[in-house]
Amino acid sequence: MTAKSAAAAARATVYGYPRQGANRELKKAIEGYWKGRVTADALRSTAAELRRANWQSLAGAGIHEVPTGDFSYYDHVLDTSVMVGAIPERHRAAVETDVLDGYFAMARGTQDVAPLEMTKWFDTNYHYLVPELGPDTQFTANSAKQVAELKEALALGLAARPVLVGPVTYLLLSKPAPGVAPDFDPLTLLDRLLPVYASVLADLRAAGAEWVQLDEPALVQDRTPAELNAAARTYRDLGALTDRPKLLVASYFDRLGDALPVLAKAPVEGLALDFTESAAANLDAIAAVGGLPGKRLVAGVVNGRNIWINDLQKSLTTLGTLLGLADRVDVAASCSLLHVPLDAAAERDIEPQILRWLAFAKQKTAEIVTLAKGLTQGTDTITAELAANRADLASRATSPITRDPAVRARSEAVTDTDGRRCQPYGERAAAQRAHLGLPLLPTTTIGSFPQTSELRTARADLRAGRIDTAGYEERIKAEIQEVISFQEKTGIDVLVHGEPERNDMVQYFAEQLTGYLATQHGWVQSYGTRYVRPPILAGDISRPEPMTVRWTSYANSLTEKPVKGMLTGPVTMLAWSFVRDDQPLGDTARQVALALRDEVNDLEAAGTSVIQVDEPALRETLPLRAADRAGYLGWATEAFRLTTAGVRPDTQIHTHMCYAEFGDIVQAIDDLDADVISLEAARSHMQVARELAAHGYPREAGPGVYDIHSPRVPSTTEAAALLRKGLEAIPAERLWVNPDCGLKTRGWPETRASLESLVAAAHQVRGELSAS
C-alpha cells in the first residue's frame, strides 16, 4: 500500500475517556447509592447518560471510532473479574443475592467480609482491585456489561470498539487467593481463561462489534521467555478463532521491547502502540521487524498522561514515518484519557496565556482529530492549527514563569553533605528514644482525620465570601481541638492535628509554592469514587513562607504528647501533579526538596520533634523497565534525604507509603534513611513486613493493621492478630502500630471505633510481650 492510500485511511480514536462527568455526577450518584439516597435504577440511569454524553462528545469532536467498556462504576480490572467469573468465594453469596451490591462489596468490603486488595495500575496514580486466583479457580463468561454498552453506542449510530483488559495482563496482575500457596503462578490458568475470552469475543461479534481492543500493558514490563511464550500462544489461539471480531492488541506506558516481535507475528488484525517519549523506541522496533504488513496500526502520539499540548509537527513526522510500516495508520492518545481531567476550557482562574499550554481530555481529542486530518488530507488543511501550536509551544519555552535564576542557583549549589544526616541511625534512635519516651509498640495515625461535610462547607463558605478568614480559622481550630482530644482519650501515643485545613495532600502545598498552578475542575480518578485535582507544576519551585508551622504549633500547644508535623515528599509532589516536561524530573525534584527542607527546618525550630514526610508515590513512579530504575531511584532517594537531612539527631523523621508492591524497592526504602516508615499491609496480610525482614531493614516500621479504604471496622482481635503477624518479621522494639493510610475519606463513627480497636490491640499485645 502506498503512503498516500495509507494516509487516506487514517482515523481518529481513543482507548478510554474520563468516567466521572463534568461535575462528578458518577461519584455523587454512587455515594448516594451507598447511603441509600439513590436507587439502583437511578444510578444505572446516571451511568447510561454519562456514557451517552461521552460518546456523543467524542463523535462530535471528530473521533471516528468510540471506545465502549471503558466505563466502570469502580474499576475496569474488577469489571474484568466479573466478566470472567473470577468472584472470590467469600463474595459469591453477595454477588448472587444482588449483583450491584456484591460488586461494591468486592471493592469496599463489608463489616464481615474483606475486600479485594488494591494497588497501583502500573506507574500511574490509578488504583485497581487485584484479582484473586488459585489452582481451583474456574472461569465462566459473563459478557452482559460489555455487550450492553456496545449496543448502547451502536444504537446512537456510532462506530464503536469494545475495550477489554487482555488475558495475559489480567493474569499477570493477579495474585494467589487467600489460602493458596504464595508461589502459585496465575499464568498457569491461561488455558482455562482463553475459552472464556473466546466466548466474550463471539458475543461481541454477534452484538455488532467489528473490532475489539485487548489491552496488554503488562507486556511493556520486563517479561520472562515463558511469559512471552504465553502471550504468543494467547494471540495465536485467539487469532485462530473463526467466530470473532477483528482484534486490536494495545499496549502503552512504555516500549514493548521483546514483546513487539511476538505481537507483530501474531495472527491479529491490528496493534495499538505508544509512541510518546518513553516509548519512542517502538518506532525503530517496528522497522527492525520489517514493519507490520497487513495490519492496522493505531499510533499513540498524543500523550494520554500529561496535560501539556502536543507538538503537532513532531507527531506528524512520527506518523509520516509509520505510514510506510503498516497497512493502515490511525491516530490516538498513548493510553486511555482516564488519567487526565476532562476540559481545560472550564478553568477560569488560569491566565489565558498559560491555558493555551494545556490540553485535557477534550483538547487532546481535538489534537488527535487534527493529526488524523493532517495525515489524511495533508498539512495544508491544518495550517492554522499548526501555526497556533507553534506559537503556543514557543510561548511556553520563553516564558519567565518557567525560570527563576535564584532557585536554579540554589539547586546547583547542593552538595552530597546536604543530603546526609549528621549521625548514623543507631545514634539517632537512642537520642530519639530518650527524647520522646514512647512505649513499646507505639501507636499513631498516618496524618489526616475525616474531612467532614462541615469542613468542606467551611472551605466553600470562605471561597464564596460567606465567612471571613477569622471565622474559617475558628472552625479549623475547633476541629483540631476535637482531633487532639479524641486521640488523647483513646490513648494514641504520637498524635496528629488531623489536617482539617488541607483540601488535598499535594494541592495544599502546591497552592503555597511558587511554580505551581491549581485547577478548579481538574478532577482525575484515583480509585472508586475518590477523585483528586492534581496541581500543575509549570515553573521553578520555591517556598515564600512557612506552610504548616502555624497549625502544627497550635496542635502542639493543646497536648503534652508529641504531635507529628505532616508534609508531602518531593517525589509524591511530582507524581501526583502534572509535571513540567521541559527539564529532567530529577532537577525538578531537587527544587521541590529544597523548598520542603525549609519547611522541615522551620517545624523543628518551632518545637516539632516528629516530622513525617510522606512518599506514597515512590514505588508508583518506578520505571516499568528494570534498566531505567537505578537512575530514577538515585534522584528520588536523594530528594527525600535532601528534604530531611538538616534536622537534629533527636528529631524523628517518619515517612509513609501505601497501596503498591514494595518488594522491589526495599533497598530504596532503606536508602531514604528515615527513622520510621509506615506502610499499607492490612489487605496484603503483612507481606511488606516479611519483605522488610528479608532485606534486613534496620529501622523502625509500622505495617498497617487497619484497612482505611474499606468502611468495615476491624475488631481488636483482628488488629491484634495482624500485629502478632508483624512481630514475626519485625522486633517489638522497632514495630509501630498504625492504620494503612490517612483517614480523610472515612467517617467519624468508623474512625473512632477502628482506632479504639487499634489501641486496644496494641495494649493487648504489649501485655502478652511483657508476660512472656
Cβ atoms < 10 Å from Cβ of 727: 17
Phi, psi of 278, deg, nearest 5: -70, -20
Q: Confirm whether 76 is a catalytic residue.
A: no
Would strands 127-129 and 132-133 be described as parallel, antiparallel, or unpaired? unpaired
* CA-closest candidate to residue 489, choices 251, 752, 123: 752
Query: Rounded to an integer, what distance in angstroms lies between the CA atom of residue 567 and that of residue 506?
Result: 9
Residues 6+ apart with CB under 8 A from 409: none
- How far are the Cα atoms of 78, 144, 189, 502 from residue 88, in angstroms, in the given order? 11, 19, 16, 37
Query: Rounded to an integer, what distance in angstroms lies between the CA atom of residue 574 and that of residue 506?
Result: 9
The answer to whether 164 touches 112, Cβ cutoff 8 Å, is: no
* CA-closest candidate to residue 122, choices 218, 16, 230: 218
* CA-closest candidate to residue 19, choices 82, 70, 91: 70
109, with CB counted inside 10 A (0-12, 13-18, 19+), is buried
| HSE value, Cβ hemisphere, 13 Å, CA-based, for 308 | 20
Q: What pairs with residue 212 in β-bridges?
A: 247
Find where cell 494495545 sits: 250
3 state DSSP class of 700: strand
Would strands 652-657 and 578-579 be described as parallel, antiparallel, or unpaired? unpaired
Would strands 578-579 and 564-568 be described as parallel, antiparallel, or unpaired? unpaired
Would strands 292-302 and 270-274 be described as parallel, antiparallel, or unpaired? parallel
Query: Rounded to an integer, what distance in angstroms lies between the CA atom of residue 606 and that of residue 676?
Result: 21
Q: What does the radius of gyration of the chain's CA atoms come to, in whole angstroms?
A: 26
DSSP 4: H
- How far are the Cα atoms of 320, 345, 534, 577 from residue 22, in angstroms, in the given order? 35, 12, 16, 20
The answer to whether 264 touches 293, Cβ cutoff 8 Å, is: no
Q: What is Dmax (Cα atoms) for the chain?
A: 84
3 state DSSP class of 270: strand
First to last CA, the chain: 80
Residues 6+ apart with CB under 8 A from 144: none
Query: Rounded to an integer, what distance in angstroms lies between the CA atom of residue 662 and that of residue 674?
Result: 16
Q: What pairs with residue 657 in β-bridges?
A: 679
Residues 6+ apart with CB under 8 A from 32: 38, 43
The DSSP element (H or E) to which 523 belongs, if any, is none
Query: Rounded to an integer, what distance in angstroms lies between the CA atom of residue 68 and that of residue 735?
Result: 48
The answer to whether 446 touches 678, Cβ cutoff 8 Å, is: yes
Q: What sign does the CA torsion over 32, 34, 36, 39 have?
A: positive
Q: What pairs with residue 300 in β-bridges?
A: 274, 332
Residues 6+ apart with CB under 8 A from 400: none
Query: Rounded to an integer, what distance in angstroms lies between the CA atom of residue 585 and that of residue 151?
Result: 44
Query: Rounded to an integer, what distance in angstroms lies between the CA atom of residue 115 and that of residue 88?
Result: 10
Query: Rounded to an integer, what distance in angstroms lies between the CA atom of residue 249 and that of residue 295?
Result: 11
Query: Rounded to an integer, what distance in angstroms lies between the CA atom of residue 528 and that of residue 549?
Result: 33
Q: What pairs with residue 566 in β-bridges?
A: 612
Exactly one of 64, 685, 709, 763 is catalytic; name it: 709
Question: Which residues are the active-site residues?
Answer: 709
